[in-house]
Amino acid sequence: MLVSLDKNKWMYAWLQDQWHDDLLAIILGLEDEVPRPNNMRKGIAKLLEAHGYKTKLTSKFDVIISMSEEEYIILKLKYE
């Protein structure tokens, strides 16, 4: 199942619960001089890929995540 991060805002809560420190480093842009939204989205995609998820960035920098339907339903019920 393909899931859009832009259309499922509750997934940010899931990301924060799972990888708080890594996500904080991405959002604060510790690797960049000035944090840019596009770089943050790329960082989130790389973070998910590092943890076994397949991701794709669209031309508008939406992160598309591939996950099982069961996992999506469980996460949606928990975080929405």
Residue pLDDT, tens place only, 29-47: 766 666 788 888 999 999 9
What pLDDT does 26 receive?
A: 86
The mean-pLDDT minimum among 10-24, 25-39, 46-60 falls in 25-39
- When pLDDT is averaged across residues 15-30 and rounded to a whole number, the result is 88
Contact in structure between 76 and 10 (CB atoms under 8 Å): yes
pTM, whole model, 2 decimals? 0.86
Q: How confident is the model at residue 28 (pLDDT cuts 50, 70, 90)?
A: confident
For the chain, the domain total comes to 1
Domain that holds residue 6: 2-79
Spatial strand order of the sheet with 2-4 comes to 2-4, 63-66, 54-57
Which residue do the tokens 């339907």 mark? 69
- Using DSSP's 3-state secondary structure scheme, residue 65 falls into strand
Q: Helix, strand, or coil here: 9?
A: coil
Say which residues have a Cβ less than 8 Å from residue 53's Cβ, sequence separation at least 6: 65, 66, 67
